[in-house]
Each structure stands twice: as structure tokens, then as C-alpha cells.
């Protein structure tokens, strides 16, 4: 990440006083970065306006792994995911107490350009959202934005191959991305995201709009991609978490204070979390007692 990219955002208030008064985060984080994590997310409190949406959620993310976030609707899975590449900056009233470090750098530091952060940390959404342009231009889009100076044809082909779409589209690269099937459109969005070679790929329920065959295709693709990328995925599908994720975070909603605040219950290697959950709430959730 180009952490030297300077573009302070005075319009966005990130209240980090709490963290800085508690401990020297930078030295602590460098230690944890040295432990092999790519992302060190420590959310103490995350607000939308006055609403405390998420509290007490620490999520170290390990490179070349797939990390999944599971939990009932409204527990803050998307909110946490969006905090990892400053996508929440677009939401008026968003405020974070805590820190998110990427490769040891604080992505919310005042001198860091959020656009540069999103370039290093790509995102794929629930609904496939190809742009109304050709397949080729969809994939080349981010490259043009980044003023990429290399061979476009080569990079577009590589991204489409990485996204397991090349064979299906190589003869119609200049037709509209919107003419593809839903599953192909989602793979096109993955190709668009990987074309700029991000360090980390965030996916928010990327299969929920897809049929089971297209879903399995994307799951296979994620397993291939993790050779070269690190992936964090939100899923409401517990089988999917078990099929693809190395590590799983279970979030839940705390209603005891009269609010609806999401927080992390447990975060463990996926098999351990499902085979031997430590917490009663996790046990109940994976038994399907609530959704
Ligand atoms: N843009 C927003 N503005 C205000 N509140 C929001 C916004 N997005 C999400 N929330 C609230 O934050 C909480 C967590 O939402 P979300 O992260 O979407 O949960 P999940 O992805 O687990 O379903 C919910 O109470 C939701 O209503
Ligand atoms: Mg969500």
C-alpha cells in the first residue's frame, strides 16, 4: 500500500483517542505484523451517528488464508468488513474507536489516502455489479484508474484467467459484461478486483444472489485465489464457511443494553469453531437455533 499517499480527510472524524491513550498501538501492531498477520483489526467501538453498531471485535487476518465472518443478520458482519478498506467512509456519521492496521500501517491515519487503501484492498459485493461496458473494459477499469502503463491485453487476460472466466469469454471480450449470467458476472467482478493485484480481497456474501452451481464455482475459485491473495468473506451460509474458510469469526448481537450492538463471540480455525465451539451462543447458532 502506498501509505505515503497524502490526502487527509478532515470531513471524516475517526476518534482514536481511546486507543492511543491505552497503549502504544504502533509498536504492538508491529509485533503482531511480525507474527504473520496481514491485517490487524481492533474495533473497540464503531458508531453510525449515535448508534453503537459494533463493539469489542479484534480480528487478525492471516495472509493466504480465507477468513469468514458469520453471524445473524444485523450483527455487523458487513460493517466490520467495510471497515477493513475504509468503505464505511462513505457513510455519514461513521466513527471508529480502535485501529485497523494493514501490513503494520494504520489505514485510518490522517495522512493515508482512502483511495490508495481501497486499491490495495479490493471488494466484491453481494449483487454482481459489472459496469455497463464491455467485459474487457470492466476488467481494465481499475487499471486505467491507476494509470497502469503496462500491457493491458496481458493483464486483462491474466485477471480473467485468475477469475476462472477466460475460457468462457475469450471470444467475446468486447460484448457487454451485463449480458453474462449471474455467476459469470460475479466472476467478472472478481476479475475486475484482482486485475489491480490487490493484497487483500474482501467479499460480502458474494454468492447469495447465485444458484448452487455458480456458488460452488465461486467457492472453488476462492480456494484457487488464496494461493496468491488473502480473502475475507462475509457469508450467512455455514456450509460455505466450512467448505472454504481457514478461520471463522462468529459475531452476535447484544440486546442487553436495549440496543442492537454486534460483537465478536469467538474467532478460531474453522474446523475447531464448528467441531468444538467454546461458547454456548456459538453452539446454538451452528445448531441452527436462530438465524
Ligand atoms: N449505512 C448505515 N447507516 C446506519 N446504520 C447502519 C448502516 N449500515 C448498517 N447499519 C446498522 O448497523 C448494524 C450492522 O449492520 P450490518 O453490518 O449490515 O450487519 P450484517 O452484515 O451482519 O447483516 C445494523 O443494526 C444495521 O442496521
Ligand atoms: Mg451484511
Sorted by sequence, the CB contacts under 8 Å of residue 91 that are 6+ apart come out as 48
Sign for the pseudo-dihedral over CA of 127, 61, 85, 230:
negative
Q: What per-residue confidence (pLDDT) applies to 258?
A: 81
State the chain's mean pLDDT as an integer. 88
pLDDT (average), residues 246-267: 94
* Residue 255: band (very low, low, confident or very high) from pLDDT cuts 50, 70, 90: confident
pLDDT for 1 beyond 70? no
- Cα–chain center distance at 22: 27
Closest residue CA from atom 26 of ligand 1: 74
Pocket test of ligand 1: the residue of 41, 47, 48, 206 to mutate, having most ligand atoms within 8 Å of its CB, is: 48
Residues framing ligand 1 (Cβ under 6 A) = 48, 51, 53, 71, 73-79, 91, 260, 262
In a domain, 134, yes or no: no
Taking the CA of 70 as reference, the closest ligand is 1
The CA distance from 134 to 138, in Å, is 6
Taking the CA of 80 as reference, the closest ligand is 1
Q: How many domains does the chain have?
A: 1
Between 274 and 1, the higher pLDDT residue: 274
Q: Residue 277: count other Cβ atoms within 10 Å of its Cβ.
A: 19
In a domain, 157, yes or no: no
In a domain, 182, yes or no: no
235 is in which domain, residue-wise? 17-128+199-286
pLDDT digits (tens, 9 = 90+) for 187-228: 999 999 999 999 899 999 999 988 999 899 899 999 999 999
The CA distance from 24 to 28, in Å, is 6
In a domain, 169, yes or no: no
pLDDT digits (tens, 9 = 90+) for 38-56: 999 999 999 999 999 999 9
In a domain, 204, yes or no: yes
Q: What per-residue confidence (pLDDT) applies to 29?
A: 41
In a domain, 188, yes or no: no
In a domain, 12, yes or no: no
User: pTM for this one?
Assistant: 0.87
CATH number at residue 235: 3.40.50.300
CA angle 203, 207, 208 (to 5 degrees): 110
In a domain, 164, yes or no: no
Share of the chain above pLDDT 70, in %: 88
Q: What is the SS3 assignment for 43?
A: strand
Q: How far is CA 252 from CA 34, 68, 173, in A?
A: 30, 14, 43
Amino acid at each position: 500500500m502506498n501509505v505515503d499517499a497524502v490526502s487527509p480527510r478532515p470531513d471524516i472524524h475517526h476518534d482514536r483517542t481511546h486507543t492511543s491513550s491505552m497503549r502504544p498501538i504502533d509498536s504492538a501492531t508491529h509485533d503482531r505484523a511480525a507474527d504473520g498477520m496481514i491485517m490487524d483489526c481492533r474495533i473497540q467501538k464503531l458508531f453510525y451517528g449515535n448508534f453503537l453498531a459494533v463493539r469489542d471485535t479484534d480480528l487478525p487476518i492471516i495472509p493466504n488464508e480465507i477468513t469468514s465472518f458469520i453471524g445473524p443478520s444485523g450483527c455487523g458482519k458487513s460493517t466490520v468488513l467495510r471497515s477493513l478498506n475504509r468503505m464505511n467512509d462513505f457513510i455519514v456519521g461513521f466513527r471508529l474507536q480502535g485501529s485497523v492496521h494493514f501490513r503494520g500501517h494504520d489505514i485510518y491515519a490522517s495522512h493515508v489516502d482512502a483511495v490508495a487503501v481501497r486499491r490495495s484492498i479490493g471488494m466484491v459485493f453481494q449483487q454482481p455489479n459489472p459496469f455497463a461496458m464491455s467485459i474487457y473494459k470492466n476488467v481494465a477499469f481499475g487499471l486505467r484508474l491507476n494509470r497502469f502503463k503496462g500491457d493491458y491485453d496481458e493483464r486483462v487476460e491474466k485477471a480473467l484467467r485468475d477469475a476462472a472466466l477466460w475460457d468462457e469469454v475469450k471470444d467475446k471480450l468486447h460484448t457487454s459484461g451485463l449480458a453474462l449470467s449471474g455467476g459469470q458476472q460475479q466472476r467478472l467482478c472478481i476479475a475486475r478486483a484482482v486485475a489491480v493485484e490487490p493484497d487483500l480481497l474482501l467479499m460480502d456474501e458474494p454468492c447469495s444472489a447465485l444458484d448452487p452451481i455458480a456458488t460452488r464455482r465461486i467457492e472453488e475459485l476462492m480456494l484457487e485465489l488464496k494461493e496468491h491473495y488473502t480473502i475475507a468473506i462475509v457469508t450467512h451460509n455455514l456450509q460455505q464457511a466450512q467448505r472454504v474458510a481457514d478461520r471463522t469469526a462468529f459475531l452476535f448481537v447484544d440486546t442487553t443494553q436495549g440496543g442492537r450492538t454486534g460483537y465478536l463471540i469467538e474467532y478460531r480455525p474453522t474446523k475447531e469453531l464448528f467441531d468444538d465451539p467454546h461458547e454456548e451462543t456459538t453452539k446454538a447458532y451452528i445448531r441452527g437455533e436462530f438465524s
